[in-house]
Structure 1
Amino acid sequence: MGPVMLDVQGTSLSQEDKEILQHPLVGGLIFFTRNYQSPEQIADLSQQIRVAANKPILIAVDHEGGRVQRFRDGFSLIPAMGKLWQMSAQNITLAKELAKQSAILMALEVQAVDIDISFAPVLDINNISDVIGDRAFHQQPDYVSELAEAFINGLHQVGMKATGKHFPGHGSVKADSHIDLPIDTRSRAEIFQQDLTPFKQLIGKGKVDALMPAHVIFPDVDSQAVGFSHYWLQNILREQLGFNGVIFSDDLSMQGAASVGGYIERAEAAQAAGCDMLLLCNNRDGCVDVLDNANISTSLVGGERLKKLLKMPDKNNNWSTLSENLAWQQASKLIKSYR
């Protein structure tokens, strides 16, 4: 599988989309709200993409719940993960069950329209970051770990792989990496004792299938933003923490990625640092420039990791029959009862 994940503009494929999907470097596609009209339409678009690519292709979406849920009309509304603690009246057992059932509900619906993964769960701590906020499960690292583990168990129960983000934690820096380059000046010790804890604990339990690094610089650890840092991704994540799953770059069109140059430089730096798949979104010209001119390559090892994220074929899991699924019924009933 190729190392580039890109997007398409509309609700159906253009001729250019079809040609780009066949490029040998393209191995993934991410959906946005603009691609969605109805469950039936997005399922058809997923199928169009797989046919046009004519090869294994990983289809993804950001469908965490709360304010980050790309598909709404026709889909169940998933609560923000940061709301579960209040919804459960601070009962950890109930909060974990809500997390698990939220994951089951989300994953079954996303898979029913032929999408492989949602980029979830968020493992950041709800601290001072406005862009994270209630996307995070909690303000305490150990609670984040417990609730995220329950969420991942729900994903795994219905066959979806888990992508933890934003390694090693975006919650303790104010700036938004979509529009700025956040710099977290805390000490290495504080970062490792606080923000890194959920990642370390869940990687140690073998729960995390993929990770997405933050476009954040931690000067006391390394001068490069995490997604471009060989030290963060290889020395810490791969070697010290023993992570052997997929590493996605965060979107390379974000302002937080601009520290290393233009799109070609960003793609080359992210792959050199250790990212298995490079997200190039919302900039078709930049994406084409990378495909045509960047010094990046398909990796056999990275490709094998990526293939493990593809959902298993299941003829019984489609949108028209989803309401008959017992797990979906139970999850939907529980989440609705707390809305």
Structure 2
Amino acid sequence: MTSSLHAPLIIDVAGQGLSDDDRRRLAHPLVGGVIHFARNWKDRAQLEALNAEIKAVRPDLLICVDHEGGRVQRFRTDGFTHLPPMRALGESWMKDGKGPAGSGALRAMDAATACGYVLGAELRAAGVDFSFTPVLDLDWGESGVIGDRAFHGDARVVSALARSLMLGLLQAGVANCGKHFPGHGFVRADSHTEIPVDKRSLKAILAEDAAPYGWLGTVLTSVMPAHVIYPKVDSLPAGFSPRWLQDILRAKLGFQGAVFSDDLSMEGARRINGKLVSYTEAAVAALNAGCDLVLLCNQSVNGGAPVDELIDGLAAAQKAGAWRASEASELRRQALLPATAPLSWDDLMHQPQYQHALGLLP
């Protein structure tokens, strides 16, 4: 099998337009997509032009962004709606007011669907294919990096609201990504700068934090594992653990969609069994553990040498037999691409469904 049958790398670009180096990297058969950050944004016209440039290199590239609402929202001006943090939906769930018992939950579910539709429709109108949302972590009140990104502390509420948000995304033609499997909300440490350790038992994690992944298995289209170590289950972080990804997520929970690594430049991904590893070593470990796609973020700036190192290193590792291309993984990647054409921004602004959804946001 050749590398052209599996494009596992999701990389970024340095600026608000493509350089010759960006085009060369995006054309490489191992590259399957792009993730945008705030530095790639000036206004909608510029973003649409950038995304058109990317699709001109290869129409099958998956254009992604972390766009959840609240403090994790890359595009905030020039018409993009300021979406609430997901905690606002959980708080709405708890407020029945003067209505009958449970009416707060029903209003919150409708608002979650509206959030998903607005989020997805605006991104698609600007040329973005996919957002890494929703967060399925439970709010235990300990994690600063998760915090109000979580819907709630009850896995049942999280699952109901996430399912509703996914429905809105689906209506906009956008796939979803549940994160961070099996759960990042219990630990205080931030995996961007540390290696968090969750010492709970597998039974406790499956009963609480990982429960949404089982309950949402028929609607989850992709999952992102946590750069967290759960030592009572495995000494490896979940994103590098065949035990977590193959034995538990795939075999036990029956998940059929795509698995993304979290950012390989995060501190939680840079050390495996105490050893500092290269980006290539981390990517090979993640792919061999069961990830279909691997992300390397914010390394295209200042010339992008780390991105070239990863592309060349992964190609060499494949040639040496250190990892094998997977046709199933490539099919999962392609399944995340939108199947329908988006509305233009002007048409979206006048669409009754969109206007109604705006009125439902908390």
Give the TM bin, normalised by the shorter chain. Answer: over 0.9
Query: Which of these residues, 74, 82, 102, is aligned with residue 70 of structure 1?
Result: 74
> In structure 1, what is the equivalent of residue 202 of structure 2?
188
Larger Rg: 2
> In structure 2, what is the equivalent of residue 116 of structure 1?
129
1:25–1:298: 8 Å Cα contact kept in structure 2?
A: no
Alpha-carbon distance between aligned partners in 1 of 2:312 and 2:53, rounded to the nearest angstrom: 24
Alpha-carbon distance between aligned partners in 1 of 2:249 and 2:90, rounded to the nearest angstrom: 29
For residue 229 of structure 1, report the CA deviation from its aligned partner.
0.4
Alpha-carbon distance between aligned partners in 2 of 1:45 and 1:25, rounded to the nearest angstrom: 21
Give the percent of matched residue pairs that are identical in Structure 1 and Structure 2: 43
For residue 50 of structure 1, report the CA deviation from its aligned partner.
0.9
Query: Which of these residues, 354, 357, 360, is aligned with residue 328 of structure 1?
Result: 354
Task: Output the amino acid matched with 2:34.
Answer: L
1:42–1:113: 8 Å Cα contact kept in structure 2?
A: yes
Query: Which of these residues, 281, 285, 289, is aligned with residue 269 of structure 1?
Result: 285
SS of residue paired to 1:114: coil
CA deviations on 1:273-307 (whole Å, 9 max, x unpaired) are 01111101112322211111222454211111111
For residue 87 of structure 1, report the CA deviation from its aligned partner.
4.1
> In structure 2, what is the equivalent of residue 304 of structure 1?
331
* 1:1-339 equivalence runs, <5 A: 1-52=6-57, 54-74=58-78, 75-87=80-92, 89=95, 91-127=104-140, 128-203=142-217, 206-260=218-272, 261-283=277-299, 284-294=304-314, 295-296=317-318, 298-314=325-341, 317-335=343-361, 338=362
SS of residue paired to 2:216: helix
Quote the RMSD (CA, aligned, Å): 1.3
Task: Output the amino acid matched with 2:20.
Answer: Q
After TM superposition, the score normalised by the length of structure 1 is 0.95
Alpha-carbon distance between aligned partners in 1 of 2:360 and 2:340, rounded to the nearest angstrom: 27
List, as ranges, runs of 4+ consecutive aligned residues in structure 1 with deviation greater than 4 Å: none
> In structure 1, what is the equivalent of residue 321 of structure 2?
none
CA deviations on 1:33-83 (whole Å, 9 max, x unpaired) are 11011112111111101112x341111001100000000002001100111
SS of residue paired to 1:218: coil
Change (3 A) 1:334 1:168: same
For residue 333 of structure 1, report the CA deviation from its aligned partner.
2.2
Task: Output the amino acid matched with 2:331.
Answer: E
1:169–1:196: 8 Å Cα contact kept in structure 2?
A: yes
Task: Output the amino acid matched with 2:50.
Answer: L
Q: Number of paired residues?
A: 332
Change (3 A) 1:201 1:313: closer
| Structure 1 stretches lacking a partner, 5+ long | none
Alpha-carbon distance between aligned partners in 1 of 2:206 and 2:118, rounded to the nearest angstrom: 33
| Structure 2 stretches lacking a partner, 5+ long | 1-5, 97-103, 319-323
Alpha-carbon distance between aligned partners in 2 of 1:87 and 1:191, rounded to the nearest angstrom: 26
Bigger mean CA deviation after superposition, 174-183 or 296-305: 296-305
SS of residue paired to 1:166: strand
After TM superposition, the score normalised by the length of structure 2 is 0.89
Alpha-carbon distance between aligned partners in 2 of 1:266 and 1:189, rounded to the nearest angstrom: 28
2:87–2:152: 8 Å Cα contact kept in structure 1?
A: yes
2:10–2:34: 8 Å Cα contact kept in structure 1?
A: yes
SS of residue paired to 2:10: strand
For residue 151 of structure 1, report the CA deviation from its aligned partner.
0.8
1:40–1:319: 8 Å Cα contact kept in structure 2?
A: no
Task: Output the amino acid matched with 2:54.
Answer: I
Change (3 A) 1:100 1:55: closer
Alpha-carbon distance between aligned partners in 2 of 1:141 and 1:62, rounded to the nearest angstrom: 22
